[in-house]
Amino acid sequence: MDVIVLTIFPEMVEPYFSYGMIRKAHEDGFIRVSAMNIRDYAQGKHRVTDDKPYGGGCGMVMKPEPLAAAIDSALQKSPGAKVVHMTPQGRPFNQAIAQELSLCDGLIFLCGRYEGIDERICQNYIDDEISIGDYVLTGGELGALVVADAVIRLIPGVLGGDDSAEKDSFAHGLLEHAQYTRPCEFDSMRVPDVLLSGNHALIDKWRLETSLIRTFLKRPDLLGIRSFSVEEKKILKNWYLKLEHIIQGDGQK
């Protein structure tokens, strides 16, 4: 997959691609990541990329010609790529959109600055509009990195052929179970005995139960949009029975 970020601040996004899994995926040839400077496609001595808004008002708007030229140039490097405008008005980004974008041959992220980009670019050069959430950023660069990061790790082979992307919490709709590593005692707190037992059926059951309880406590909204397996229903009904005992005051203790 090609990932190209169009920005007036390429120095802001390039370093992110030089570390960890993305660097490895690039080196191994699964992806080609780059940033292109919109200013390189602007005209005149000063290569101006922004101008005053028609109709008046504060702030500046990104001029259409440099954006169009930058997008055309990126499309030449990656024919058929999807052009994604990062904007607070876009579709709220989530894991399902990451899955969808991971099927593309190429992604070109257009990052706005100032008050935004000329509307005529939105109409004729953009395939998709994405927001990374309801808060105000200073530009689209962090958004492009967030989306690129989430998409790249889903590309087959990028995780080294294992299935951890499949097991991700948002893929199965539950939060991750608690994690422990050595030492087995830290700050007087011990690792739960079941994890040291070597009994993998019991460990899986414990992990599912902690996943469910954490999701119930921290993100009950996730449980509302999901159906449950037979095993999960058993665990939930068990809590229900225990709570009923407590409410009726006839608990074991």
What does the binding site for ligand 9D3 look like in residue numbers (CB under 6 A)? 86-88, 112, 115-116, 131-133, 135-137, 139-140, 143
Q: From CA 234, how far away is CA 90, in angstroms rounded?
A: 40
Residue 110: helix, strand or coil by DSSP? strand
Angle at 94 between CA 81 and CA 234, to 5 degrees: 135
Task: Determine the residue with CB nearest ligand 9D3.
Answer: 143
What's the start-to-end Cα distance of the chain, in Å? 59
Tokens of 237: 């009904």
Residue placing its CB nearer to ligand 9D3 in the complex, 31 or 110: 110
Is 2 catalytic? The answer is no
Considering the candidates 88, 113, 118, 141, report the single residue annotated as catalytic: 88
Minimum CB separation from ligand 9D3 for residue 18, in Å?
23
CB of 229 to ligand 9D3, least distance (A): 35
- Give the integer Cα–Cα distance in Å for 246 and 253: 10
Catalytic residue check, 207: no
| Closest CB to ligand 9D3 among residues 53, 139 | 139
Residue 136 or 201 with smaller CB distance to ligand 9D3:
136
Assess whether 88 carries a catalytic annotation. Answer: yes
- In this structure, the strands spanning 185-186 and 189-190 are antiparallel
What residues act catalytically? 88, 115, 153, 168
